[in-house]
Amino acid sequence: MNKVVWISLMSWAMALPPAAREPIAELAVAPGKVTVEPAAWNKPAVIRTPEEAAKAFDKEALAIVTRKVDFASQVVLVFAWRGSGGDKLEHAVLESFPEQVRFTLARGRTRDLRAHGKVFVMNSNVRFSAEERK
Q: Kindly report, residue by residue over 65-83, the tens digit of the pLDDT.
A: 999 999 999 999 999 888 8
Backbone dihedral region of 39: left (phi > 0), alpha (psi from -120 to 50 degrees) or beta? beta
Q: List Cβ neighbours of 9 (8 Å cut-off, separation of 6 or more).
A: none
Complete DSSP assignment for 96-117: SSS-EEEEEEE--SS--EEEEE
Residue 1 has pLDDT above 60, yes or no: no
Q: Kindly report, residue by residue over 22-69, the tens digit of the pLDDT.
A: 889 999 886 556 666 656 788 898 999 999 998 888 888 899 999 999
